[in-house]
Structure 1
Amino acid sequence: MNIIIPMAGRGTRLRPHTLTVPKPLMPIAGKPIVQRLVEDIAKVGNDKLDKIGFIIDRDFGPQVEEDLLKIAETVGAEGIICYQDDKFGTAHAVLCAKELLEGNVIVAFADTLFKADFKLDTSKDGIIWVQKVEDPSDFGVVKLDDSGVITDFIEKPQTFVSDLAIIGIYFFKSGETLHNELQYLVDNKIHDAKGEYQLTVALENMKKKGTKFVPGQVTEWLDCGNKNATVFTNMRYLEYLKDQNLVSESFKQKNCVIIPPVYIGDNVEIENSVIGPYTSIGANTIIKSSIVQNSIIQTNTKINNANFKNSILGNFVTFEGKSDDFSIGDYNSFQ
């Protein structure tokens, strides 16, 4: 089975952090979002993962590409880098990895994480993973018939038709069929008013030709679209992983209180501080005389005499002060 992960967007809602790295490489409980996504897909799948195609912007650079290839290796798959030079919608993005559209394929957009308690049924024609939401008007939703087969795809319905929102993860038994439908849209310039080719149009065409899509319902859908959502997702993952040891053996502490669950990376030093709960601290960070709760702190950062929560600090940040809510990008100093 192959996985295709479109991730060429710039993640503008998570700035300033996405000015230096793509959003899918932001850390959640010590691992990049996209690695968490790949690992979670591997857990629900029954088949061996063969190739993982990462669809990126060409200017993300060689270090990002190297990191993505290593992520594929962690689940025993071959990583493939594909470029989306022009942003022409979701269908166009998937088609950028057309060499992977064969046999069983999962398409997963890299701003979504999930928890599920089912195993992927690869005997189905297609599975569209959904989650019940309170306000369907902000989402694409699916409508089901009495047998549980998807009959309609509705984009942001203003009157209630369904509360099953599409979360951005799809399984296709035949990658070749999906490829043909995507190529048909592009060849015949079947796009929306913005000039974008949409995956849901290809799904609708496949359905009309006999493909039966069924929903795969997750137990929790976690967004990483902006700062607050990402901090919340970090909190939920730390809760999931609370029975695992997420504290590095090289962590050094002196006169501090650690309130789990927390993630603490390699060579972190903490002195005269209270850390946690729900806090992730990246490698080589030093924290002194501070209180830090429900936050993400990335690598090589220095924090002194601070008190904050619900925040994200980037890499190589120097911070001193008090705040309940902030987001500071890489290489900044606040004192």
Structure 2
Amino acid sequence: MNTIKDSIRPVFPFTAIVGQEEMKLALILNMIDPKIGGVMIMGDRGTGKSTTIRAIADLLPQIPVIEDDPFNSHPTDIQLMSDLVQSSISNGEVLNTAFINVPMVDLPLGATEDRVCGTIDIEKALNDGIKAFEPGLLAKANRGILYVDEVNLLDDHLVDILLDCAASGWNTVEREGISVRHPARFVLVGSGNPEEGELRPQLLDRFGMHAEIRTVKDPLMRVKIVEQRSQFDRNPQNCLQEYEEKQNLLKSLICKAQDILPEVSIDFSLRMKISQVCGQLDVDGLRGDIVTNRAAKAFAAYQGRRNVEVNDIKNIIILCLRHRLRKDPLDNIDSGFKVKNIAEEIFV
């Protein structure tokens, strides 16, 4: 007899995804260090953007939460607790702990601000004198992944809210003099097709990384991708068993990298060179420097090392800086090549 658990739709294994290495690396590094600031994935339709993003969540270890808490509050970390949980603990209440899969929340294109941020029931507040808060998608995504497909078609005001929450780690809802605040720490992943419009540069700059993906041209690779997808659709369990070992290996690599990340260091000379690259590329602000330093540390941790090497920086610098360059309509050089050329000059 099939249980509900057995009938849950299986997720295509991350390690079975062919190609698109840039996108996969950006997602893995954001899982290792969520403070990198999320990733924007731009590319052609039908290139597996959504499949890959959903697959990464399946790789992450379960997280401890306070049972029945709508904000996925952490049992011990105050920064990841809702105000209600904090006051309950202060009052000496014993709260049960449960383990859940890392939340993966899809933000629909037509979502309203109330649906995203949550709403305060004013009537209940006035009549009963209690803060009745209906949590939104940001509460559900706390300590997980918030995925926005076609982010370039989303209302700029909503994108602003998402980026502010992702940066601060908190969501505040205010209405009629009543204010409710809850933790909202998540990895923001946006995807889109550049043909349908670009994001404003100031919004694009707020994403930690930017991966560009193109349709595979090689016929042999295309056949391999189609066969793999057909095999999964025909018999998902067989496909999951086939990749179980690879999945477990990647899971353990990500867990190990998360553990050693606080110990990873980057030499002053390398930090100077990163800032030199940003200066020569005329990158506005210091976000580029900060993200590149963070991503280089996450990459070193992913390789199992506690010291950042030159090759770590070379592997991630394009992902961190290509979307921060000023666009020149007359320039026919791709921004990725620009970053690569300057980085090769400085990191000799």
Per the normalisation by structure 2, the TM-score is 0.26
Per the normalisation by structure 1, the TM-score is 0.27
Identify the structure with the greater helix proportion: 2
Identify the structure with the greater strand proportion: 1
The higher-RCO structure (CA 8 Å, 6+ apart) is: 2
